[in-house]
Structure 1
Amino acid sequence: MAARSPDPSPARRNENDTDGRASARGGNTRVKLADMSTKTVHVTHYTVQSGNTLTAIAGMFGTTIEQLVKWNGIPNPDRIDAGQRLIVNESPTPHDTFYTVKSGDTLTAIARKYGTTIERLVQLNGIPDPNRIDVGQRLIVAKSAPAQA
């Protein structure tokens, strides 16, 4: 059986490329094509409510103003608008945001504070009676979702 010689075609392999990535040539210009790998991150979103500040939102979700500005490309941290959807947490693994029920809390108030619905809180926490929550009860108020980085 005869040995097969390598394909000299530059479209299939460029002899000057040793890193295994594809390259393209055009005239005297040589351009490296970037690796097209994707990375999944998990993000949690929050919709800004009237009267919110980045300081308050950062406190609610255990992050910093600087991180909120970075994740959302906010040009002026002193100006956010009601209805604006913000990334409030980003990590390589799935994560939940929790709230511990205090005296006087209702699901309505908690849902409003975290920009969600009573129905969603009931679903996330398996609450059998939405009219009854207990002081000290730890509730999931937000879940992350995968996003391409």
Structure 2
Amino acid sequence: MKSLIYTIIVAFLIIGCASTDTKTMDVASADTGSDTIRIANDSLEYEIIIIEPGFNAWLVTQRPRGFYGENFLESRNRIYVNEFNQRVLQPQRFNANLYFQQINYEPNIHYGYEVNYLLYNYFLFFEQRYRQRFIVSRGNRF
């Protein structure tokens, strides 16, 4: 269980930057067998590191980069991050081993397509792997 905690801490490391300028992204992934993805801008003002067994293998089965628009990814990530952070604040209701640290994702910062794409897909992976639901469809319930 400790390794899960450390994995999730590292997986959700996003440090907010001070400006809204677009940054050049450096995406580094070890070899294809690695489950570590690091995305950072050149000045290292923010980064996301995902260390989760099976994430890379799962990611290649998902919709490719460019399928979703950046606005779609940003809006979904805002919803996911808000819900995730609410669950961190409710350890009596949600598993504190899954939700133990808030994610610093500022809506007025332009993180770029790659960060938003990987964060969005990580939330989908997280939902599937840990059987969690963040976004519930508000369709007809007759």
TM-score, L = length of structure 2: 0.24
TM-score by length of 1: 0.23
Q: Which has the larger Rg?
A: 1
Structure with the higher fraction of residues in strand conformation: 1
